Amino acid sequence: MNQLKKLLIIGFVWPEPNSSAAGGRMMQLISIFAANGFEITFASAALDSDFMVNLSEFGVAKKSIELNSASFDDFIIELNPNVVLFDRFMIEEQFGWRVAENCPNAIRILDTEDLHCLRTARQKAFKENRDFEIVDLFSEEVAKREIASILRCDLSLIISEFEMNILQDAFRINKVLLFYLPFLVDKMSENDLLKLPSFEDRKNFVFIGNFLHEPNWNTVQYLKEAIWPSIKEEFPEAVLEVYGAYPSQKVLQLHQPKNGFFIMGRAEDANEVVKKARVVLAPIRFGAGLKGKLLEAMQCGTPSITTSIGSEAMHANLSWSGFIEDDVLEFAKKAIVLYQDENLWKQTQKNGVAIINECYQKDKYSNELAALVNSLLMDSKSHRLHNFMGNLLQFHAYKSTMYMSKWIEAKNKI
């Protein structure tokens, strides 16, 4: 299709690619649609932040919008987009009915980021000191909301194959409503590793992650209280540098230089931080989706040690770029071995290259998504006709959401 197409992205927040993997993924989506001839507008009700990307540099128009306001109706009618992309299910709940009412022919796409219901259920199971089971999802209120949102949309972007399986097997969602879209990066060769800092030129362990994300805060607590003491006992000169955007006071209080545990705060350039480190430590105990920090480590040629949750759906059947270990003592032992054994370190570094090339092929997934969106643009009526449950939920749920929003809007005028 050569004619100008318009994409409206409604963001939960303004993109901060240097603060979180979610921000990086959003910029990847913008890149895909821009490369396929879309004129893009990014709208959000969030406040501006000091670290948000300058969207105009990417040819994207920026628009501030209001929650529970008819002003959005006027805005979207004038814009008249062909495609609307909702950033997380909460945004679809808030604005989906307005899009459907004012631009009924626009293709509605949901970027789930990760399954919030999976993350919530796992966190609850962790706090209750029990194993997570798939059946836990069915009792989560957020699952009912999230699945309803997926069904109402023409297409949902799913970042993890594990989550694709949950949606199809546990929730019985038709595969035509789902598209598997992992993080997308350029291919690497083993020669690219030679351009990165060598084993000898690197030092220290590192963890990096946005502290607004609860699994990251929990991981740092776990490192400080359980894993780091075991590492320091066997390897007294070890140093761990913890980087992350938006550290709270409780994070900063973990700073303990005498014990080699440094809270560094926001990284000006996450890539440079990870490239200079010798090993990434990421003992993640709950969460969902793919872990951007671990893919970034592979790109930087930095082996990592993580858990089965951390590595979930990230490496197909390939050997990990480091170690996957859930036991505290074994995690600590393998961290030391990986840090000190140059031959092992170099082999696991190469494993990361193989994973990148097998699992995160930028061109493959970008082209498939573009073709699918164009197909939906040409025949959305047939696609929607076969999504009866989505139509049913749109008819009932949008009514309740619509009247609640209109009530709030009226109340705000008083």
Residue 408 has pLDDT above 80, yes or no: no
- Phi, psi (deg, nearest 5) at residue 372: -70, -45
- State the maximum Cα–Cα separation within the chain, in Å, rounded to a whole number: 70
Residue 144 has pLDDT above 60, yes or no: yes
The pLDDT score that the predictor gives to residue 342 is 98
Both tokens of 261, joined, read 């545990």
pLDDT mean over 11-36 = 95
Model confidence at 401, pLDDT cuts 50, 70, 90, reads low
DSSP string computed for 349-392: HHHHHHHHHHH-BHHHHHHHHHHHHHHHHH-HHHHHHT-HHHHH
Percent of the chain with pLDDT over 90: 89
Question: How large is the C-alpha radius of gyration of the chain?
Answer: 22
> How many Cα atoms are found within 13 Å in the side-chain-facing hemisphere of 117?
24
pLDDT in tens, 344-384: 999 999 999 999 999 999 999 999 999 999 999 999 888 88
Q: Taking the CB of residue 35, how many other CB atoms lie within 10 A of it?
A: 11
Any idea of the CA torsion for 155, 157, 160, 164, to the nearest 10 degrees? 0
The pLDDT score that the predictor gives to residue 1 is 41
pTM to 2 decimals? 0.93
Domains and CATH numbers, the chain: 5-184+362-413 (3.40.50.2000), 190-359 (3.40.50.2000)
The single-letter DSSP state of residue 286 is S
- The three-point CA angle 38-96-121 to 5° equals 110
| Cα separation of the two ends of the chain | 48
pLDDT in tens, 266-303: 999 999 999 999 999 999 999 999 999 999 999 999 99
322/349 Cα distance (integer angstroms): 7
pLDDT in tens, 62-96: 999 999 999 999 999 999 999 999 999 999 999 99
Model confidence at 409, pLDDT cuts 50, 70, 90, reads confident
245: Cβ contacts below 8 Å, ≥ 6 apart: 16, 18, 19, 20, 51, 210, 211, 212, 266
Both tokens of 30, joined, read 């913008």
Q: Is 279 helix (H, G, I), strand (E, B) or coil?
A: strand
Percent of the chain with pLDDT over 70: 96
DSSP string computed for 95-158: HHHHHHHH-TTSEEEEE-SS-HHHHHHHHHHHHTTS---GGGGGG-HHHHHHHHHHHHSSEEEE
